[in-house]
Amino acid sequence: MILPILRCSMNLPPSGLLCQLLRYPERTLIFSAHPKFSWIVNNSTPNSSQTAYQIVVASTEKSLHSTGDLFWDSGKISSSQSINVCYEGCSLKSHSEFYWRVRTWDNDDKTSPWSDNQKVRIGDLSKGETTETHPLEKSEFAPVQVIQKTADHYFVEFEKAVFGTLQLQLTSDKDGHIIQIHLGEALSGPNSVNRHPKGHIRYRKIPLTLKKGSHTYTIKIPPDERNTGEMAILLPQEIGEVMPFRYCEIVDAPESIEASMLKQIMVHYPFDDNASSFESSDEVLNRIWDLCKYTIKATSFCGTYIDGDRERIPYEGDAYINQLCHYCVDREYTMARHSHEFLIYTPTWPTDWILHSVLMAWSDYEYTGNTDSLEKCYHDLKAKTLSSLARKDGLISINTGLLADEVRKSIHVHRHPMQDLVDWPSAEFEKNIPGERDGYEMVPINTVVNALHFQNLQLMTRIASVLHNKKDSDYFRKRAEKVHAAINHKLFDLERGIYLDGEGSFHASLHANMFPLAFGLVPPEHLKSVITFIKSRGMACSVYGAQYLMEALYQENEDDYALELLTAQHDRSWWNMLKVGSTMALEAWDWKYKNNLDWNHAWGAAPANIIPRFLMGIRPLEPGFAKILIQPKPGKLRHAKIRMPTIRGTVWAEFENNPGKEFALTIDLPANTSGLIRLPRLNKAQTTVLVNGKEKRGVIENGSISLEVGSGQHRLKTLT
């Protein structure tokens, strides 16, 4: 069982301290004169809330205990705020450091013990505020097996592929002895590194010249011209070059090779492997979760979300999926924000990708409750909606003469011509593959692009409201209403009951229907026909498009079909990624669908966010998880349990499902939060739920029974 048993009531010290959203501010520098503090309230009493807090800040740990030496003593502040509390002490100095700690008061005005102390290092404050990030880390792994192939030829296997290098301890009886190191991601047969892999599956042959005696060698990876170019994210000099590899062959070894002589050195962003977990009654689903969670850790090696090893370039569509996944597998927010803000000013060429910046900005706010990035990027986010390309009816296009130089400047697109993407690759790009657009007809007024534009307008309505800009909020709301009407009037085929690929097109694709469904564009009277069409197309999209397909299905209670797609075992499935031998998500479903694919692409890891956010149904209802939605969509899945991190602490959930007969859910919400629970309704007559053994009447809505709960552990059950 993942879920803990019911605990004794206890008010423990706050934990999980963050400064500027950093878990380890002592390892880097902050550049804010007014940093913001967050913590986890640790009170296991049911329905517990923080009623007050006290923060103290000092130049040394010793000074934290001396009232006369404090930079700031907030005193007892009556407030439930436990995230993004702004420093209000004396002026901080550049190139200095401070320590801070916090304690809280609960519903009964009982005081918690003080938290541990956290050290914070300050950089040059004259440079202005920036999004601080952690430095990269290195981890070491031993081989799982070493096999001697001939007298001086060894095969080495590690548990998983990493971005990194190899370290060896070898003894040679002379200077100048050369051995050959073969590193790769794939096998060509038993105990053999694939030296001619397809696409961009990685392999390198690297000679190593030994010195006389016993020495430790770290293999120097030669840079690749393709992924170290002008647009690529380069690794810090102190880290050195890396490559993805799982297997190794050592040829011309001067001595017998044993596992203790070898280490796989992995480079990655700080990652807490224990922050999240998932297990279910479906072993295929469990392995897919493990694959996708590990992908998020392994592909963090640049400190910025990149598209995989082939180019190492950030792309907005890739980064958005990476961001959602990262939030669900680790309590980490700085890499996502850094990547988003980098892409604001260094965008890529697809129209669709520009429109992902607003989605990334809103997700940052939803998961952190922090408005700093929204405020800093607000002017740019307004431009990124591409409203400047709108016709009188509100629909947008880059092909109608409106993409003037000033528009390109406003969205920071300077060098590249823009182009609608829809999905990738296209059949036109690679003639010998079918493409991933489901035959999409690329016309100027594009349904997918305009669906994304509509979602931008919806989110900007909320963003402007959060920033107390009523004028802009009203403006974006009215534009969203206009675009909603235009899409449903001009891009919908009433006779067939489905969306067309664009204005003037007679073709209907999966994409033209799943994006409108995911963004709430489909009127209730047309839901059935649109969903029926979507289900008729199968997985006729790429691993990127699958994000929106899965969201659309789960949002419309098609969880049986969504689970079928998640656990499918054909060649357009996540299972196929495991079947071909990868330990990270692939860039495409299979080589035949993208014959330059790589084996290390986070945009293929969508289940890492789909499983927590939709199958288990855990999402923020209020920014920073002040209020949490728990709405499982189990389909036919019998059992599942999850541990999911949030900025306020860990959410635990576990269900037992006897479809149509009984559904039982146990949850544990962190202190200082509340929850809205939506349980599947087993029949139309059902109106009550057992909550901790007592019958309660819920609110009936959209096939669910809704109830509100406080923090702590709750057991809920629905019966026929």
Distance CA 350, CA 314 (A): 13
Q: CA angle at residue 460 from 542 to 328, to 5 degrees?
A: 50
**pLDDT beyond 80 at 684:** no
Q: Please indicate, yes or no, whether residues 211 and 249 belong to a single structural domain of this protein.
A: yes
Q: Please indicate, yes or no, whether residues 655 and 690 belong to a single structural domain of this protein.
A: yes
Lowest model confidence (mean pLDDT) among 75-79, 496-500, 691-695: 691-695
Note whether 103 and 111 are within 8 A (CB).
yes
- Could you report the per-residue pLDDT of 4-41, keeping only the tens digit for each? 544 445 789 999 999 999 999 999 999 999 999 999 99
Note whether 253 and 262 are within 8 A (CB).
no
Note whether 568 and 561 are within 8 A (CB).
no
Domain boundary among 268, 288, 315: 268
Distance CA 483, CA 681 (A): 34
Which burial class, exposed, middle or buried, applies to 238 when counting CB atoms under 10 A from its CB (0-12, 13-18, 19+)?
exposed
Tokens of 220: 């120097």
Q: Please indicate, yes or no, whether residues 123 and 141 belong to a single structural domain of this protein.
A: no
Please, which pLDDT band fits residue 1 given cuts at 50, 70 and 90? very low
**Does residue 158 lie within any of the structural domains?**
yes
Residue located via tokens 């669910």: 704
What pLDDT shows up at residue 430? 60
- Could you report the per-residue pLDDT of 81-124, keeping only the tens digit for each? 999 999 999 999 999 999 999 999 999 999 999 999 999 999 99
Q: Please indicate, yes or no, whether residues 148 and 35 belong to a single structural domain of this protein.
A: no
What residues form DSSP beta bridges with 182?
205, 249
- Could you report the per-residue pLDDT of 418-471, keeping only the tens digit for each? 999 999 998 866 666 788 999 999 999 999 999 999 999 999 999 999 999 999
Q: Please indicate, yes or no, whether residues 191 and 110 belong to a single structural domain of this protein.
A: no
Q: Which domain holds residue 99?
A: 11-127
Q: What is the mean pLDDT of residues 657-662?
A: 91
What pLDDT shows up at residue 431? 65
Q: Please indicate, yes or no, whether residues 76 and 149 belong to a single structural domain of this protein.
A: no
What total number of domains does the chain contain?
Answer: 3
Q: Please indicate, yes or no, whether residues 161 and 243 belong to a single structural domain of this protein.
A: yes
Task: Render 146-185 in DSSP notation, one character per residue.
Answer: EEEEETTEEEEEEEEEEEEEEEEEEEESSTT-EEEEEEES
Distance CA 443, CA 500 (A): 11
Q: What length is written for the chain? A: 720
**Does residue 610 lie within any of the structural domains?**
no
Q: Please indicate, yes or no, whether residues 75 and 21 belong to a single structural domain of this protein.
A: yes
Q: What is the mean pLDDT of residues 513-528?
A: 98
**Does residue 374 lie within any of the structural domains?**
no
Angle, nearest 10°, between helix axes 283-298 and 559-566? Answer: 70
**Does residue 605 lie within any of the structural domains?**
no
Distance CA 381, CA 316 (A): 13
- The alpha carbon torsion through 260, 262, 266, 270 (nearest 10 deg) reads 20
**Does residue 309 lie within any of the structural domains?**
no
What pLDDT shows up at residue 6? 44
- Could you report the per-residue pLDDT of 369-427, keeping only the tens digit for each? 999 999 999 999 999 999 999 999 999 999 989 999 999 999 999 878 999 999 999 88
- Could you report the per-residue pLDDT of 257-287, keeping only the tens digit for each? 999 999 999 999 999 999 999 999 999 999 9
Distance CA 493, CA 672 (A): 48
Note whether 337 and 21 are within 8 A (CB).
yes
CATH of the domain at 648: 2.60.420.10
> At 624, is the secondary structure helix, strand, or coil?
helix
CATH of the domain at 92: 2.60.40.10
The 10 Å Cβ neighbour count of residue 259 is 12
Note whether 250 and 156 are within 8 A (CB).
yes
Q: Give backbone dihedrals phi and psi of 145, rounded to 5 degrees, phi first.
A: -160, 150
Q: Please indicate, yes or no, whether residues 73 and 142 belong to a single structural domain of this protein.
A: no
Residue 651: CA count within 13 A, CB half-sphere: 33
Of 4 and 575, more confident = 575
Domain boundary among 235, 268, 301: 268
Asked whether the bond before 425 is cis by omega within 30 degrees of 0, the reply is yes
If phi > 0 it is left, if psi is from -120 to 50 it is alpha, else beta; for residue 283 that is alpha
Strands (E), 173-301: 178-184, 187-189, 192-193, 203-209, 213-218, 243-251, 262-268, 277-280
Lowest model confidence (mean pLDDT) among 163-167, 499-503, 680-684: 680-684
What pLDDT shows up at residue 376? 97
Helix, strand, coil percentages (3-state) for the chain, rounded to 5, are 30, 30, 45
Of 569 and 429, more confident = 569
Q: Please indicate, yes or no, whether residues 143 and 264 belong to a single structural domain of this protein.
A: yes
Distance CA 705, CA 719 (A): 12
Q: Please indicate, yes or no, whether residues 111 and 164 belong to a single structural domain of this protein.
A: no
Mean pLDDT rounded to a whole number for the chain = 95
Domain boundary among 247, 268, 289: 268
What pLDDT shows up at residue 8? 45
**Does residue 357 lie within any of the structural domains?**
no
> At 51, is the secondary structure helix, strand, or coil?
coil
CATH of the domain at 141: 2.60.120.260
What pLDDT shows up at residue 685? 75
**Does residue 244 lie within any of the structural domains?**
yes
Note whether 91 and 33 are within 8 A (CB).
yes
String of b and e for 500-520 (b: at least 16 CB within 10 Å)? Answer: bbbbebeebbbbbbbbbbbbe
What is the bridge-based pairing of β-strands 203-209 and 704-719?
unpaired
Q: Please indicate, yes or no, whether residues 24 and 100 belong to a single structural domain of this protein.
A: yes
**pLDDT beyond 90 at 579:** yes
- The alpha carbon torsion through 317, 323, 329, 334 (nearest 10 deg) reads 160
Q: Give backbone dihedrals phi and psi of 364, rounded to 5 degrees, phi first.
A: -55, -45
Percent of the chain's residues with pLDDT above 70: 98
- Could you report the per-residue pLDDT of 143-164, keeping only the tens digit for each? 999 999 999 999 999 999 999 9
Lowest model confidence (mean pLDDT) among 13-17, 200-204, 431-435, 531-535: 431-435
What is the bridge-based pairing of β-strands 662-680 and 627-630?
parallel
The 10 Å Cβ neighbour count of residue 95 is 10
Tokens of 459: 């989110």
Q: CA angle at residue 705 from 703 to 707, to 5 degrees?
A: 150
